[in-house]
Amino acid sequence: MKPVYVTQPYLPPLAEFIPYLEKIWANKILTNGGPFHQQLEQALCEYLGVKHIALFTNATIALVTALQALRITGEVITTPYSFVATAHSLLWNGIKPVFVDVDARTLNLDPERIEAAISPQTTAIMPVHCYGHPCDVDAIEKIADTYNLRVIYDAAHAFGVDRSSGSVLNHGDLSILSFHATKVFNTFEGGAIICHDAKTKLRIDQLKNFGHAGEVTVVAPGINGKMSEMNAAFGLLQLKHIDEAIARRKEIDAMYRELLVPVKGVRCLGDAGEQKANYAYFPILVDGTYPISRDALYDRLKEQGIHPRRYFYPLISDFPMYRGLPSAHRENLPVATVAAQQVLCLPIYPLLEDAQIRRIVEIIAAQ
For residues 45 and 52, what is the distance between their CA atoms, to the nearest angstrom? 6
Query: Comparing C-alpha atoms, which of 103, 6, 106 is closest to residue 347?
Result: 6
191 vs 283 by CB, closer to ligand PLP: 191
Judged by CB under 6 A, which stretch of 93-101, 149-157, 163-171, 235-243 contacts ligand PLP? 149-157
Smallest separation, CB 183 to ligand PLP (Å): 6
Among 82, 228, 238, 317, binds ligand PLP (CB under 6 A): 82
Residues in region 207-266 near ligand PLP by CB under 6 A: none
Residue 299 CB, nearest approach to ligand PLP (Å): 24
Query: How far is residue 153's CA from residue 198's CA, in Å, rounded to a whole number?
Result: 19
3-state secondary structure 43-90: HHHHHHCCCEEEEECCHHHHHHHHHHHCCCCCEEEECCCCCCHHHHHH
Among 52, 133, 150, 157, binds ligand PLP (CB under 6 A): 157
Query: Which residue intervals of the chain are DSSP H helices?
Result: 14-27, 35-48, 59-69, 85-91, 137-147, 198-207, 229-260, 294-303, 334-342, 354-365
Residue 83 touches ligand PLP, criterion: CB under 6 A:
yes
Residue 191 in contact with ligand PLP, rule: CB under 6 A = yes
CB within 8 Å of 289: residues ≥ 6 apart: 264, 265
- In the bound complex, what is the minimum distance in angstroms from residue 181's beta carbon to ligand PLP? 9
Residues 156, 227, 306, 360: which binds ligand PLP (CB under 6 A)?
A: 156
**C-beta of residue 266 within 8 angstroms of C-beta of residue 298:** no
C-beta closer to ligand PLP: residue 290 or 322: 322
CA angle 85, 44, 72 (to 5 degrees): 40
Would you count residue 352 as binding ligand PLP (CB under 6 A)? no
Residue 347 CB, nearest approach to ligand PLP (Å)? 17
Residue whose CB is less far from ligand PLP, 191 or 235:
191
In angstroms, how far is CA 170 from the centroid of its own chain? Answer: 15
According to the binding rule CB under 6 A, does residue 187 interact with ligand PLP? no
* Interacting positions 4-63 with ligand PLP (CB under 6 A): 58-60
Applying CB under 6 A, the residues found at the interface with ligand PLP are 58-60, 82-83, 85-86, 128, 154, 156-157, 178, 180, 191
